[in-house]
Amino acid sequence: MDPDSDNTPAPAARKRASRRAPVADKPIRTGRFAAGLALVLAIIAMLASGYVGWLVNSKRGLSDAKGRLFQVEQETAQLQEVSTLMSQQLGSLRETQEMLKGGVQALHDEIGKGRRTWLITETENLLVIAQHRLAYARDARQALAALRVADRQLQQLGDPDYLPVRKLLENEIIALEGFERLDLSGMAQRLGQLGARVDTLNLLPDPKPRAESATAGATEQGFLHDVWKDLRNLVSIRTTTDVRRPLLLAEQKYFLRENLRLMLYGTQVALLHGDFTTVELNARTAHQWLRDYYDANTPAVQAAAAELDTILKIRAVDLPDISASLKTLREITAKRSAS
């Protein structure tokens, strides 16, 4: 047997095989067609089910949207109600705020009015104090300080109605500054210190008795000599114009010092009260006593005499008038209270 017979068919066999082939292709094609049709139907069914599912979902979504829309409408209505209520409450709050604002403004006006009234009253009191210090104590320094504080308070007030008062205060302050330069209080203080040092001032030493001058000419004897001696003792002729200072006893020296002390203190008080007539009279008397009874060669007595000379140079000085500002302040205050 040819080994190649199994692998290579005979020509007759090849012919038979070629005849049977068309019959075997028909079932194969029929199966493919059925498979394709099934695939198409499956795709159509899938699309149909997807469409149906989409419709179902769409309807469900539409129902949900309608429910949500209804809910939104309800919530909108509730929000409108809440908004209306809040608008009403806001109106009430605005009315309350306006009432509170009016109350606060009224309270502020009342406080400002009270502060303004207090400043005006305090300014008036300061002007009264300044007048009293100047008129009764001649204390220009304290009066000047009071006027300056009054001017600062009117400046803080900031009321243009009181500008005339400030102008008058400016003039009065300038006048008081000129009066203060006299330093009357300093002079009065030095007079008090001088009065306290009276015991340290040296008095003049007691005068020594003058020796009797020898009688010119020859000494007579006998009766004529005795008569001449008696006549000489009865009649004494002086050729000098000096007045001899009398002797002072111990108690007289004490009273001299005390009288001088009182004279200096009296000058001090008169100077503080502006009584320049008494100041001049007391100072001249004290100065005369220093010349008559005290040793002018000692430094203490010389310093005391120089101080009294300074006092004697003071002339009567008119006190500045500081009443115009107080009068104007009272007139403006009364006019505003009446209006």
pLDDT digits (tens, 9 = 90+) for 180-199: 666 677 788 888 898 898 98
With beta carbons less than 8 A apart as the criterion, state whether 200 and 266 touch.
Answer: no
pLDDT at 124 over 70: yes
**In the predicted model, what is the mean pLDDT of the chain?**
76
Tokens at 123, concatenated: 């300014």
Instruction: Give pLDDT, residue 150.
Output: 93
Q: Are 147 and 130 in contact (CB under 8 A)?
A: yes
pLDDT exceeds 80 at position 242:
no
Higher model confidence: residue 327 or residue 232?
327
Whole-number pLDDT of residue 107: 57
CA-to-CA distance for 196 and 192, rounded, in angstroms? 6
Residues 6+ apart with CB under 8 A from 185: 138, 139, 140, 141, 272
127 vs 218, higher pLDDT: 127
pLDDT band at 4 (very low <50, low <70, confident <90, very high): very low
**What pLDDT was estimated at residue 232?**
59
Q: How confident is the model at residue 71 (pLDDT cuts 50, 70, 90)?
A: confident
Least confident of 76-85, 183-192, 284-293: 183-192
Q: And the tokens for 315?
A: 């002339």
Calculate mean pLDDT across residues 165-187.
83
Q: Is the pTM of this model over 0.85?
A: no
At residue 265 the predicted structure's pLDDT band, cuts being 50, 70 and 90, is very high
Q: Report the distance separating Cα 38 and Cα 30, nearest Å.
A: 12
Mean pLDDT of 249-259: 81
Task: Collect all residues with Cβ–Cβ distance below 8 Å to 290 and sequence separation of at least 6.
Answer: 201, 260, 296, 301, 304, 305, 308
pLDDT-based confidence at residue 111 (cuts at 50, 70, 90): low
Residue 101 has pLDDT above 90, yes or no: no
Q: Cα separation of 306 and 295, whole Å?
A: 14
By percentage, how much of the chain surpasses pLDDT 90? Answer: 15
Per-residue pLDDT band at 167 (split at 50, 70, 90): very high
Handedness of CA 60, 62, 67, 72 (dihedral sign): positive
Share above pLDDT 70 across residues of the chain, in percent, rounded to a whole number: 69
pLDDT at residue 127 in the model: 94
The per-residue pLDDT for 8 is 46
Helix or strand or coil: residue 203? strand
Top-confidence residue, 133 or 49: 133
Q: Is the pLDDT of residue 210 over 80?
A: no
Q: Residues 199-225: what's their mean pLDDT?
A: 59
Mean pLDDT of 68-93: 83
Which of 39-48, 88-97, 161-170, 225-234 has the lowest average pLDDT?
Answer: 225-234
